Chains A and B, each alone.
Chain A
Amino acid sequence: MATLGSAPTSVDASLPTAIPVASVTSAPRHALLVRVTHWIFTLSFFALLATGTEILISHPRFYWGETGNVLTRALFQIPIPSSRTLVQTGYGYVLPDQNGWSRALHFQAGWVAVLTGLLYALYGLFAGHFRKHLLPTKADVSWRSLSSAIASHLRFARPTAAEAHSYNVLQRLAYLFVIFVLVPLVIWTGLAMSLAFASAFPWSVALLGGHQSARTLHFFASIALVLFLLVHLVMIFLAGFRNRTRTMITGSVSRTKELP
């Protein structure tokens, strides 16, 4: 049972280069709870992305403020065909309407993502995961270390062996931004579109600038999450797709060389 919820406690994250490799192999690189929630969240994210895109197709126009419809000026329109006849898209055909099941799956996957995320957040707070593995270390918080991290990323340098056992500063900042800014924002903007939710929490819509602003921000927050996912995948490929993916499944770092 040593694997359940145990982070690599022997690793001092502030000294990533000084890790004796032998000590790391005894504790998992990623705690069981982190791995399980990561993959459940991944699945629900893909469901949300696919169904969200489908819902968007029924009205590929975006607005700012409280209201917006085919008779008002759009902030922008995505140049794709629509699944409804109401929107003039310039295409000579209308796609089949899939909104019914798309909405149902969107909200169901949303529930799974939110509940999984809450479990992860509680674990992150109380088991020290955020503090130990995601909060930048004292050594990280300097212009010199930040600029050297950015420079090595810009050179697409292969990660050092130590980086298989600990996150670098840019990784930490990106994960913190996703966990504490983008995901809460996408949940908030999604809920703000609900008429019933807005009746109980009217400030949640007012703060965003209105119902249609919430919808537009929901779209941009989703785009930002997709961009994060793309960068995340590119980084995993650069670091060694098989090794990194295996580590996120089994928890253990492969002893083979950290190159693809």
Chain B
Amino acid sequence: MTQLSRRKLIVTGLAATAGITGLGVAAHLADQYGLIPPDHGGLYGPGESLTYATQRLLTRHSLAREFSRSQMSKPLPNEMPPLSDEFKRFAAAGFTDWRLSVEGLVDRPASFSVAQIKSYPSRTHITEIACEEGWSYIAEWIGTPLSHVLNLAGVRPHARYVVYYSIDPEWWESMDMADALHPQTLLAYGMNGEELPVGFGGPLRMRLPRQLGYKNVKFINRLVITDNLKRFGKGLGSAAPEAGYAWYAGI
């Protein structure tokens, strides 16, 4: 063996060792800090886990890009047709009896009216909403930070996820506490200076500007705080993985 090829052997060996060590360290960190997504099983589990863990490490506190008024999209696409008769009755009454219940790992389970939520400190951001199909639009979103409502209910320290439900029984999602406590995550009730239209999720829509459109569930009426997503649906975290989509939609 020549000296040169021995050096290459050492370089290759070091690179391989570094790679394997890196993976080992990453797996250990992931285990310790809860960086494994609920849909980590199956053929695409490794990719989902790598993406979620990496983005969590890089983006825990980063803020979604915000835009100027002149960048707001007009008109807005993907308006949703009116829902069930039950929903229409709420709409006819001006959503005065619409409630958002907060249950699970909280000290004070509660139920909030839309008016109550509107009376809390609000936050407004002009952010982009992007669909997994590829299109996007920018709008102004007005709402109460989810963290405010969670604090009112008194989330217990070992809580790890917030599961949120739509009046549409097919659509429920969940997010980790990093997103739930993120300052831009809103219980949105307003859009572009007005009431949030029904077609865009009114009276209440979960708005997480760092995840794709399908995580931004419309017509929400129930939050469940939990430390374990196994008990919900098929145990994959939300409706999206049950339909073949990723639970984590930061990419």
Task: Give me the interface of A with B, judged by CB distance under 8 Å.
Answer: 1-2, 4-7, 9, 31, 33, 55-56, 58-59, 61, 66-72, 84, 86, 99-101, 103-105, 107-111, 115, 119, 122-123, 126-127, 191, 193-200, 202, 205, 211-212, 215
Contacts and interface: CB of A to CB of B under 8 A. Distances in A.
Q: Among B15, B133, B243, which residue has the most Cβ atoms of chain A within 10 A? A: B133
Contacts of A61: 134-135
Chain A at the B interface: SS class? helix
Interface in B171-199: none
B157 interface: no
Given A107-B51, A195-B210, A100 B73 contact: no
Interface string B40-59: 00011011101100010011
Contacts of B63: 199
Residue among A6, A69, A193, A212 with the highest chain B CB neighbour number at 10 A = A69
Given A86-B78, A99-B133, A123 B11 contact: yes
A109 B246 CA distance: 15
B32 to A, nearest CB: 21
A59 B243 contact: no
Scoring A5, A7, A202 by chain B CB atoms within 10 A of each residue's CB, the highest score goes to: A5
A58 B134 contact: yes
B84 interface: no
Contacts of A194: 55, 250-251
B228 interface: no
Residues of B contacting A: mostly: loop
B97 interface: no
B146 interface: no
Contact of B2 (A9, A58, A68): A9
B12 A4 contact: yes
A86 B55 contact: no
Contact of B138 (A67, A123, A127): A67
A110 B133 CA distance: 18
Contacts of B212: 195
B154 interface: no
A123 B12 CA distance: 7
B211 A195 contact: yes
A115 B47 CA distance: 12
Given A68-B136, A70-B77, A197-B251, A107 B59 contact: no
Given A66-B67, A71-B76, A84-B133, 18 more contacts: A7-B8, A55-B133, A59-B131, A59-B133, A67-B71, A67-B128, A67-B136, A67-B137, A69-B135, A86-B77, A104-B244, A108-B44, A108-B46, A111-B50, A119-B15, A195-B251, A202-B65, A205-B65
B5 interface: yes
A13 to B, nearest CB: 15
Contact of B11 (A5, A66, A100, A111): A5
10 closest A-B pairs by beta carbon, nearest first, are A108-B47, A100-B244, A196-B250, A104-B44, A69-B135, A59-B134, A5-B8, A194-B251, A6-B5, A199-B62
A83 B64 CA distance: 29
A67 B48 CA distance: 26
Contacts of B133: 55, 58-59, 84, 86, 99
Contacts of B48: 104, 107-108
Contacts of B134: 55-56, 58-59, 61, 215
Contacts of A200: 58-59, 62
Contacts of B131: 59
Contacts of A56: 134
